[in-house]
Structure 1
Amino acid sequence: MPSLTTKTKRPGARFRTVTPVLSAVVALALPLTGCTTVPTTAPSAVRAQPAADGQGRFGTVDCRKAKCIALTFDAGPSEHSARLLDILKEKQVPATFFLLGKRHIAKYPELVKRMADEGHEVASHTWDHKILTRIKPEQIREELRKTNDAIDKLTGHRPTLMRPPQGRTNDTVHRISREMGLSEVLWSVTAKDYRTSDPKLIHKRVLQQSSRDGIILLHDIYPGTVPAVPGIIDALKERGYVFVTVPQLLAPGKAEPGTVYRP
């Protein structure tokens, strides 16, 4: 949808060099930064399109009128995810989960089923967190295919959304995503929870960056993140925000395969 796509420059396109001594888990979450130009489409532009009905387990939300925000979690499931799902259920908040395959979906299949059963959007974060812009096209396809197959087998629903590791994407990734029926979803809010285990700091960072149509990036694999979630939800609700999944944020429009979405 070229007419809906805008070019957005984000300062500092070169990513921080991660030294070998850093944990591989920390490397999962390096922020999207840079001076490269990534064509992206804003949720408000998608809502101008007729399409999906916006139905969700937590009710229909019209984000053309409501002050919506999407809570998303990368790189799970993990040992912290069951508690997170308890919190989301108690607070009646839907989320979007971008799941990893190896060591995650494969290790916690019951949590993947629960995410889908409780009305959350289950999406792909690739199989092994390979940086898609650094690998061959057939490897990109394999990273996405294996994850989609695993989620489909567990939930009966094939993902339509994916988040590229570290937010790194390019024309080849767009083309393959389009072929596989996947849209790419980036973010506008990051707590950098891979650098801190302090729930108060995570809470503060999210609230400082949040705005209407925001997409919040958190990780339920880190110990400080899930304890921060109840306070984040309560504080944003007090500010008038309504939590939605990414598809609900775009409704009544619908995500188009091969398109990159970011507020």
Structure 2
Amino acid sequence: MPLYRRIRRPRILIALATAVTGVLAVTLTLALTVTTYDHTSPRAARDKASGSVSGAVDCRKAKCVALTFDGGPSPTTPALLDILKRDHLHATFFVQGKGHIAKYPKILRRIADEGNEIGNHTWNHRILTRIGTDDARQELTRTQDAIERITGTAPVLMRPPQGRTNRKVASICRELGLAQVLWSVTAKDYETTDSALITERVLDQTHRDGIILLHDLHKGTVPAVPGIIRALTQRGYTIVTVSQLLAPARPRPGMVYRP
């Protein structure tokens, strides 16, 4: 019996060591295969930048939050533009090609003419990480070309559909001169028409240097915007575009900005 124990115990230890090694190997393999990309926060980008801020808002001093809208332009967009104009505010619009830019070029031109910022949200809203490099590039270049043709200016910002990005997407964006913009606040306004709920969700999640994601094409969103603006202003926030939030840093092509 003593001899059996002396032989058995090392085998158990070897088996345990082998199992642990296997787990570590799997963990290491998973770590190496996780898609990574360069990212930073608006505050970190500002802290690394030098120089003065052009314009009235310096988010190094002011309590800023960026207001962004995806998926337009749409028939509901003019009402949103009326609200922003009335309150002397500007937002960032990540616009989509098919069914939007192609259908409402005059609304897109108005977005630009009234001083709002325009970003690229692809042509067909395809998930860029799930398609080939050439197709992903086409999703962005087609939209870039349409925006520049209508407004006279090509965007420097893009938002990947569903926020899904990887090194491939980052590489394409570097090539096209596009910085990637994610978000920290989502009202999930695509799943509700309740404007009060949309407002509540935004206010519950908003913090300084945040980026708010809304969709002006959904029924409950535009009616919620006046209340959102009013409440944020009462809480001391200054509502800005994404580029204003980053200043004096400039959007860096390929970089992912997320609060």
State if a TM-score over 0.5 links the two structures.
Answer: yes
2:44 matches 1:45: yes
Q: Give the distance between the partners of 1:153 and 1:164, measured in 2 at CA.
A: 21
Q: CA RMSD in A?
A: 1.5
Match for residue 226 of structure 1?
A: 222
Matches within 5 A, 1:76-225: 76-225=72-221
The one of 234, 239, 253 equivalent to 1:238 is 234
Q: Give the distance between the partners of 1:258 and 1:39, measured in 2 at CA.
A: 8
Counterpart residue identity of residue 162, structure 1: M
Deviation readout 1:84-111 (Å, 9 max, x if unpaired):
0000000111100000001000111011
Counterpart residue identity of residue 220, structure 2: G
How far the C-alpha of 1:60 sits from its partner, in A, is 1.9
Deviation readout 1:56-105 (Å, 9 max, x if unpaired):
xxx42000000000000000011100000000000111100000001000
Match for residue 251 of structure 1?
A: 247
Deviation readout 1:98-134 (Å, 9 max, x if unpaired):
0000100011101111111111001100000000001
Match for residue 7 of structure 1?
A: none
How far the C-alpha of 1:201 sits from its partner, in A, is 0.1
Question: Which ranges of structure 2 fall in alignment gaps of 5 or more residues?
Answer: 1-33
The one of 64, 68, 71 equivalent to 2:60 is 64
Q: Give the distance between the partners of 2:178 and 2:149, measured in 1 at CA.
A: 17
Q: Give the distance between the partners of 1:105 and 1:54, measured in 2 at CA.
A: 31
Q: Give the distance between the partners of 2:239 and 2:51, measured in 1 at CA.
A: 18
Q: Give the distance between the partners of 2:94 and 2:76, measured in 1 at CA.
A: 15
> Closer, same or farther in 2 for the Cα pair 1:54/1:101, shift >3 Å?
farther
Counterpart residue identity of residue 244, structure 1: V
Instruction: Kindly indicate whether the alpha-carbon contact (under 8 Å) linking 2:190 and 2:218 is maintained by their aligned counterparts in 1.
Output: yes
Secondary structure of the residue that 1:48 maps to in structure 2? helix
> If you compute each CA radius of gyration, which structure gives the higher value, 1 or 2?
2
Secondary structure of the residue that 1:70 maps to in structure 2? strand
Secondary structure of the residue that 2:212 maps to in structure 1? strand
Counterpart residue identity of residue 224, structure 2: A
Q: Give the distance between the partners of 2:214 and 2:66, measured in 1 at CA.
A: 11
> Closer, same or farther in 2 for the Cα pair 1:257/1:44, shift >3 Å?
same
Q: Give the distance between the partners of 1:174 and 1:73, measured in 2 at CA.
A: 22
Instruction: Kindly indicate whether the alpha-carbon contact (under 8 Å) linking 1:73 and 1:95 is maintained by their aligned counterparts in 2.
Output: yes
Q: Percent identity?
A: 61
Q: Give the distance between the partners of 1:54 and 1:119, measured in 2 at CA.
A: 17
Deviation readout 1:5-52 (Å, 9 max, x if unpaired):
xxxxxxxxxxxxxxxxxxxxxxxxxxxxxx976652000111124468
Q: Give the distance between the partners of 1:54 and 1:96, measured in 2 at CA.
A: 18
Instruction: Kindly indicate whether the alpha-carbon contact (under 8 Å) linking 1:51 and 1:254 is maintained by their aligned counterparts in 2.
Output: no
Structure with the largest fraction of helix: 2
> Closer, same or farther in 2 for the Cα pair 1:38/1:202, shift >3 Å?
farther
Secondary structure of the residue that 2:47 maps to in structure 1? coil
Segment of structure 1 superposing worse, 37-46 or 240-249: 37-46
Question: Which ranges of structure 1 fall in alignment gaps of 5 or more residues?
Answer: 1-34
How far the C-alpha of 1:148 sits from its partner, in A, is 0.4
Matched positions, count: 226
Q: Give the distance between the partners of 1:86 and 1:116, measured in 2 at CA.
A: 13
How far the C-alpha of 1:219 sits from its partner, in A, is 0.1
